[in-house]
Amino acid sequence: MARPPADGRDRDDGALRRAKAMAVPTRAAMVALLHQASAPLTAQEMAARLGVHHTAVRQHAQVLIEAGMVMAGSLPPSGRGRPRTGYRLVDEPDPYRRLSLMLASAVRDGCTAREAGRKHGAMVVPTGDAVETLRAEAERLGFKPSLEDADGDRTVLVLGGCPFADIAASDPATICALHRGLAEGVAGVVGGVDVERLEVADPHQGGCRVVLRHTPAT
């Protein structure tokens, strides 16, 4: 059996597969269904909810399995017939899978990427003030963040790397809007800062800057 390349290409190819897998709305909707489900879903169950044929669901599920986002397994028998196959999300999602859940929620709810980001940001558990919470969340997502003081009432969150570089390069409007919304959601819940702007850099080089303006205490 061939060994994966030692220079990280296999990891990068996996990230690209996940990005391509989520580019199809039906697959994004399937991920949203599985994220909401309390138990594995069959192809027939997903097909009924999505209004597509179960054969198409199986084909899309296979792409998600190959991308490392979904797992398939046999379900306990219920009556006669062949064993059923259930699908569920892979546990402990990496940053690309967390991104996929945010994008899937946008598809499910019919909202923009920025709005989906705000919803997820509003659910982040504070780890301090808004600036520290944003830094910690950016760290958790793999952005390699650092903080800079811009002037008396502004702080800049510098994103040293982009864990979503491949998909951000192909669709920067969606991915950058999603992450601006995420920052706005955190700021709105924790309070104390407003997200003034997002200065976008080359995703493969890193260095995007989230400019935060401190607001007076009320």
Residue 86's pLDDT band (boundaries 50, 70, 90)? very high
d(CA 195, CA 154): 10
Same-domain check for residues 118 and 91: no
Q: What is the mean pLDDT of residues 168-183?
A: 86
Query: How many CB atoms within 10 Å of residue 3?
Result: 6
Same-domain check for residues 79 and 145: no
pLDDT at 92 over 60: no
Q: DSSP class of residue 90?
A: P
What CATH number has the domain bearing residue 76?
1.10.10.10
What CATH number has the domain bearing residue 144?
3.30.1380.20
State the residue range of the domain holding 176.
Answer: 114-214
Instruction: Identify the pLDDT of residue 84.
Output: 86
Higher-scoring residue by pLDDT: 99, 179: 179
Residue 180's pLDDT band (boundaries 50, 70, 90)? very high
The per-residue pLDDT for range 110-169, each reduced to its tens digit, is 788 899 889 888 888 788 899 999 998 888 888 889 999 877 799 999 999 887 787 778
Q: What is the mean pLDDT of residues 59-86?
A: 85
Dihedral sign (CA 190, 194, 200, 201): negative
d(CA 55, CA 59): 6
CA 133 vs CA 15, 107, 152, 163, 205: distances in Å:
26, 27, 20, 19, 24
Establish if 100 belongs to a structural domain. Answer: no
pLDDT at 13 over 70: no
What share of the chain in percent tops pLDDT 90? 36
CA 192 vs CA 140, 144, 175, 196: distances in Å:
21, 23, 25, 13
d(CA 109, CA 54): 23
pLDDT at 6 over 60: no
What share of the chain in percent tops pLDDT 70? 83
Specify the range with the lowest mean pLDDT, choosing from 66-80, 89-103, 111-125, 181-195: 89-103
Q: What is the mean pLDDT of residues 183-192?
A: 92
Q: What is the mean pLDDT of residues 191-217?
A: 91
- Of 32, 65, 95, the last residue of a domain is 95
Longest distance between any two alpha carbons in the chain, whole Å: 72
Predicted TM-score (pTM) of the model is 0.60
Q: How many domains does the chain have?
A: 2
pLDDT at 25 over 60: yes
Establish if 109 belongs to a structural domain. Answer: no
Same-domain check for residues 62 and 131: no
d(CA 144, CA 161): 6
Q: What is the mean pLDDT of residues 165-189?
A: 87
Instruction: Identify the pLDDT of residue 125.
Output: 78
The mean pLDDT value of the chain amounts to 82
Structure token digits, residue 150 = 């811009």
Which phi and psi angles does 148 have, rounded to 5°?
Answer: -130, 140
pLDDT at 55 over 90: yes
Tell me if 130 sits within 8 A of 217, measured CB to CB: no
Establish if 162 belongs to a structural domain. Answer: yes
